[in-house]
Amino acid sequence: SISAALARAQMGRRIRRLLAALGLSQTEFASRYGIPVANLRPYEIGRVMPPRAVRSFLKVIAAEPERTAAVLARAKRQPTVSG
């Protein structure tokens, strides 16, 4: 529908603005925040609306980009807790 297409286009613009504000390429953003480039590209061009969890994560990144990256980097270095 037109409204769904408009929502996807708006989300794509928000993602492009976020990448630009952070000064990151798609590849750098994907590496830093763990969103695969293969998923990021269709979101950015408005082909696909990201799932709700990804949209929420993008809001967290936009609000606290450095903190989010630091938490994810620490999580990569720590062993997985099992149990």
pLDDT single digits (tens) 4-51: 999 999 999 999 999 999 999 999 999 999 999 999 999 999 999 999
- Please provide residue 49's backbone torsions phi and psi, each rounded to the nearest 5 degrees: -85, 125
Integer Cα distance of 11 and 3 in angstroms: 12
With bands split at pLDDT 50, 70 and 90, how would you rate the model's confidence at 77? confident
Integer Cα distance of 3 and 31 in angstroms: 32
Predicted local confidence at residue 56, as pLDDT: 97
